[in-house]
């Protein structure tokens, strides 16, 4: 079998966080300016692979799988709330010895990065938010139903569970995911522990985690870029306009033809926007 570049995405380092072991990796020279990429749900750092490799030409790029996601630890009774993830992110920044890195965060990762900054004192040089979970209301009826009945869905036969997760993950893309990419995103959720972890992370998260910080976005005193796929069916582009109005000086860039998974639908366009935004910090 021939191994592709996509197959070779490996997080080769570990960190014992307060919510379980985190897998992470760093790309690019240690001498370059740091940028940290934060993924959302139900994804992993894998969605950042193309962007990370491109940015690594001019930056030291840090990628990680949130506890309970991807290659990171999953276990019963694990705290994978957005509150816990923000604390873990703050711990990681300290572990990496990073003071004021640039941060780019997608989906739930947006809430994680915002909470770490506003509630835990994490400092960034600048912040890029890509289709973030940041404003009420959020959570589709399907999402809320899965969370409210997690103990039932945990018992689904594996084949039905896999079909549900494939449909759910695939709907984040407007262009349609290649089968190999979809498999790579779905596979971590399809072990016995992965199935439980999938519904656990939905059950533990709700709007209160953004409600606690939404009123403080006007306090942000750093450059903020907001990127949004115009065809996002998970969080409509109107939320991008609303968020940009609530953050002083925020710049909104719309990415035509991209759905919620902008990294998969328009990686070149997203990389160009992030590179331009990051260059002004060098």
pLDDT tens string, the chain, 282 residues long: the values are 333 555 689 999 999 999 999 999 999 999 999 999 999 999 999 999 999 999 999 999 999 999 999 999 999 999 999 999 999 999 999 999 999 999 999 999 999 999 999 999 999 999 999 999 999 999 988 899 999 999 999 999 999 999 999 999 999 999 999 999 999 999 999 999 999 999 999 999 999 999 999 999 999 999 999 999 999 999 999 999 999 999 999 999 999 999 999 999 999 999 999 999 999 754
Would you state the pLDDT for residue 243?
A: 98
For position 8, what pLDDT does the model report? 84
Both structure tokens of 79: 């705290």
Distances 252 to 40, 97, 118, 149 between C-alpha atoms, Å: 20, 30, 21, 37
**pLDDT, position 141:** 87
Does the pTM surpass 0.75? The reply is: yes
Amino acid 142: pLDDT: 87
What is residue 198's predicted lDDT score, i.e. its pLDDT?
Answer: 98
Confidence at residue 6, expressed as pLDDT on a 0 to 100 scale: 53
What local confidence, expressed as pLDDT, does residue 278 receive?
A: 96
């Amino acid at each position: 079998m021939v191994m592709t570049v996509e197959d070779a995405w490996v997080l080769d380092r570990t960190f014992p966080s307060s919510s379980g072991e985190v897998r992470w990796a760093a790309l690019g020279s240690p001498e370059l300016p740091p940028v940290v990429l934060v993924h959302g749900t139900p994804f992993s750092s894998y969605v950042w692979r193309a962007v990370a490799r491109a940015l690594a030409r001019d930056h030291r790029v840090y990628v990680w799988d949130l506890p309970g996601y991807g290659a990171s630890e999953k276990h019963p009774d694990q705290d994978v709330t957005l509150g816990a993830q923000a604390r873990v992110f703050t711990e990681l920044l300290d572990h990496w010895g990073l003071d004021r890195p640039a941060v780019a965060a997608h989906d739930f990762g947006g809430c994680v990065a915002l909470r770490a900054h506003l509630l835990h004192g994490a400092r960034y040089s600048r912040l890029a938010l890509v289709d973030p979970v940041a404003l009420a209301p959020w959570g589709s009826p399907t999402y809320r139903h899965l969370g409210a009945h997690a103990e039932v869905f945990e018992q689904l036969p594996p084949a039905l569970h896999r079909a549900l997760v494939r449909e759910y993950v695939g709907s984040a893309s407007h262009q349609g995911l290649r089968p190999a990419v979809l498999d790579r995103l779905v596979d971590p959720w399809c072990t016995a522990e992965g199935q439980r972890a999938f519904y656990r992370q939905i059950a533990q998260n709700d709007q209160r985690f953004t409600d606690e910080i939404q009123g403080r976005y006007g306090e942000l005193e750093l450059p903020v870029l907001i990127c949004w796929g115009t065809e996002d069916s998970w969080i409509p582009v109107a939320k991008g306009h609303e968020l940009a109005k609530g953050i002083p000086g925020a710049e909104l860039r719309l990415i035509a033809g991209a759905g919620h998974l902008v990294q998969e639908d328009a990686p070149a366009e997203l990389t160009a926007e992030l590179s331009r935004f990051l260059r002004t910090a060098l």
